[in-house]
Amino acid sequence: MTDPDDRFLTERLHALAGGVTPPVVPADADVRRGRRRLVRVRATMAGASIGALAVVLGVTGLTAGDPQATEPPVVGRTTGTALPATPDGSTPSGSPSRGERDGERDGGGDELTSLGGGGGGAAVGDPASGSASSDATGDGADEHSGKAGSKAGGQPGHWPTGPVVPTDGSTDDVTDGPTDTPTGSPTGSPSDEPTATPSTDGPGTPTGSPTPTGTPTTPPEDPTPPTTGPVRVPKVLSYFNEVLADHLDADRDHLATYDRRVDRRKATRIDGRLFALSGSYRWTDGDDTEAVAVKVATGWDQVDWRCGTTPATWDCAAATGAELARHDGLRQVAAPRADGQVVVVSTEVASADVSDDDLVAAALDDRLVVPGDAVPAAPPLLDAGAFGASGQAALVRDGESFTTTGWARTPSVRGTWAVAGTDRGTLAWSATPLYSGGAWTCLTTYRSCTDVVVDDAGTVVHVGALRKKGGWVLQYDGPTYAVRVSSSDPTFAKKRAYPFLVAPAWQPAASAP
């Protein structure tokens, strides 16, 4: 069986084991053995828990019982009891009294001097007159009964510890008073009323200017708003929510905090740069929930604002530094900034809960800005009136007419062009800022696109032929604005539009970003 070459060793071992009968264990014995094992385990765990608890209690008692060696001993304030004068009026003996022995034992001699005068030394009267006065009533004195009290504000039998007399003979800060050991009886009886003027240097009078004990701390600076640095839209909209609450609901009774999972938001980006950001917040009043919204934009070209447009569909009114509009159940306030940015605050809440003045104040808050460090800068806004009048003067000749059907401050003008009273088609002109992507693009709606040089300086105007009805589009991309003229009538003379397109008046200097 031990031969390593025996290939049937495993089979023989199994056959040998198969002939052995296993011992039969009764079920009740097996149960008892298991219960004994469970009891041993539980006893072991209980013993370990008790041992750990004893260790914890012992350590706690050692550390929390007696004070540490490094802790200073607690010294209680010595409170003396006033002793009455002897019946024969004699002075205390020269031997140390019990209070003096206590003071020497406790090291509290200095504390005893403060009991009679509340913490300060009392003035001593003229020894020749035999009277004594004090600036405060001590524990053992009765200034109205005429009974003997404490000398120099101290208790009977306990002479105050006075300043040490200098050995050089100087008398600075030394008061006339009894020596450490009394030598005789008092020369007179105390009068009913004090005869000396109380000292004006009471214990509560400070003797010098206070010295600060710590280094003054610099007041904390205001935290940097999330509108600077990398743009994190949820943090910015939460910050805008706080700004609106300051003006509309300071107590936070109705305006809910921003919740990115519930509240709507929209960001407008072009080539990775942020041009507009808007957010809507919940205004709750009982079971009703309405909306308060804010939008910050780099310019009017990023805002749908129809005040001053034709046809007039909004009810608009001027406000200080802003415009107020009502339409479609909304109230909106648009506030332009000096740098060209525009802030629009909108709400469905009734004016009884949020006034127009509060909306205007919220829109004018300087904290509402387009977030980021490199915010695109919109060019100066063109004069829409001058733009419309100049376009009509350049494009419409004698014998022709133009009827305006649409006008906006962006600026843009649209109307019907007629010749001899006959409508020939739609004529429109507009200007779009180039900073937000208004450059020329040959669209699929154009049948063809060509470039035309319109002057000796080599100025190029882009021409696009429309597929429908055969109209055309002209556009000039200037330094700041893309100026466009379009006609649905292909017979309209394009040359009329060239001088108007390239006029320098429509290209104001762009502000630095």
Do 360 and 390 belong together in one domain?
no
Q: Among 364, 397, 424, give the residue marking a domain's end.
A: 364
Cis peptide before 508 (omega within 30 of 0): no
Range of the structural domain that residue 421 is part of: 384-502
CA–CA separation, 36 and 26 (whole Å)? 16
- In this prediction, the residues of the chain whose per-residue pLDDT falls under 70 are 1-7, 64-222, 510-513
13 within some domain: no
Ramachandran sector of residue 242 (left: φ over 0; alpha: ψ -120 to 50; beta: rest): alpha
What does the pLDDT read at residue 114? 35
SS3 state of residue 151: helix
Do 496 and 399 belong together in one domain?
yes
CA–CA separation, 399 and 404 (whole Å)? 17
CA–CA separation, 132 and 126 (whole Å)? 7
C-alpha angle 477-482-487 in degrees, rounded to nearest 5: 105
SS3 state of residue 441: coil
95 within some domain: no
Q: Among 304, 332, 364, give the residue marking a domain's end.
A: 364
- Which residues, listed in sequence order, are joined to residue 273 by a DSSP beta bridge? 270
CA–CA separation, 307 and 336 (whole Å)? 13
Do 483 and 406 belong together in one domain?
yes
- How big is the chain, counted in residues? 513
Q: Quote the number of domains for the chain.
A: 2
What does the pLDDT read at residue 61? 82
What are the tens digits of pLDDT across the range 228-279?
999 999 999 999 999 999 999 999 999 999 999 999 999 999 989 999 999 9
What does the pLDDT read at residue 314? 94
Residue 415 burial by Cβ neighbours in a 10 Å radius (0-12, 13-18, 19+):
buried
| CATH classification of the domain holding 456 | 3.40.1000
Do 238 and 349 belong together in one domain?
yes
Q: 73 φ, ψ to 5°?
A: -65, 150
314 within some domain: yes
Query: What would the two tokens of residue 338 be?
Result: 């000096």
- Which residues, listed in sequence order, are joined to residue 463 by a DSSP beta bridge? 450, 474
- Which residues, listed in sequence order, are joined to residue 328 by a DSSP beta bridge? none
Do 410 and 438 belong together in one domain?
yes
Measure CA 305 to chain center: 33
CA–CA separation, 278 and 291 (whole Å)? 13
Sequence-ordered list of residues with C-beta below 8 angstroms from that of 468, at least 6 positions apart, any chain: 445
Q: Look up residue 272 and give its amino acid.
A: G
SS3 state of residue 18: helix
44 within some domain: no
Which whole-number Å values give the CA distances from 57 to 64, 66, 456, in the listed order?
10, 15, 102
478 within some domain: yes
What does the pLDDT read at residue 64? 67
What does the pLDDT read at residue 245? 97
Q: Are 492 and 427 in contact (CB under 8 A)?
A: yes
141 within some domain: no
Do 470 and 358 belong together in one domain?
no
What are the tens digits of pLDDT across the range 479-505?
999 999 999 999 999 999 999 999 999
3-state helix, strand, coil in the chain (%, to 5): 25, 20, 55
What does the pLDDT read at residue 65? 55
Do 357 and 312 belong together in one domain?
yes
What does the pLDDT read at residue 9? 78
Do 355 and 402 belong together in one domain?
no
